[in-house]
Amino acid sequence: MDKYLQENSSYNRLCEEYQKYGSLIVAVDFDDTIFDFHKTGDSYEKVKQLVRDLKSINCFIIIWTGNQNSEFIKTYLLNENIPFDTINEEAPITKKLLGDNIPRKVYANVYIDDRGGLFQIFTELTNLVKKYKK
């Protein structure tokens, strides 16, 4: 069986990485994950709170987006009290981890994205925060 198709395998991997490094690099999509891009009236408050909680346990937050309006993004994040370390830029540790083999996609331990299993990763990261928050 494929390793990461087993129940709890991705959660266990995140816990192992957090225990090893005392942090995770978390890439958070912007549009329709923490910002109502399609103007449907969604607040995304639970995901926003998860990002705050992840920052409180020392995670490095990358806002990962195709949206090119960086001033709007920064203003929105500040107004919504959403912590971030970079927007579409690698974490400083990436070069140490990967050397000169930096991929086009930002390197992260985990990606929070409305198009990428948001319910599963939201649940796993919420459980991780509960486990490691002091």
13-62: per-residue pLDDT in tens? 999 999 999 999 999 999 999 999 999 999 999 999 999 999 999 999 99
Total domains, the chain = 1
Range of the domain at 59: 20-132
Q: Does residue 6 lie in a domain region?
A: no
Which residues, listed in sequence order, are joined to residue 62 by a DSSP beta bridge?
27, 86
What are the two backbone dihedrals, phi and then psi, of residue 94, each rounded to the nearest 5 degrees?
-60, -45
pLDDT tens digits, 82-105: 999 999 987 877 766 766 766 667
Find the CATH number of the domain harbouring 95: 3.40.50.1000
Let me know if residue 11 belongs to a domain. no
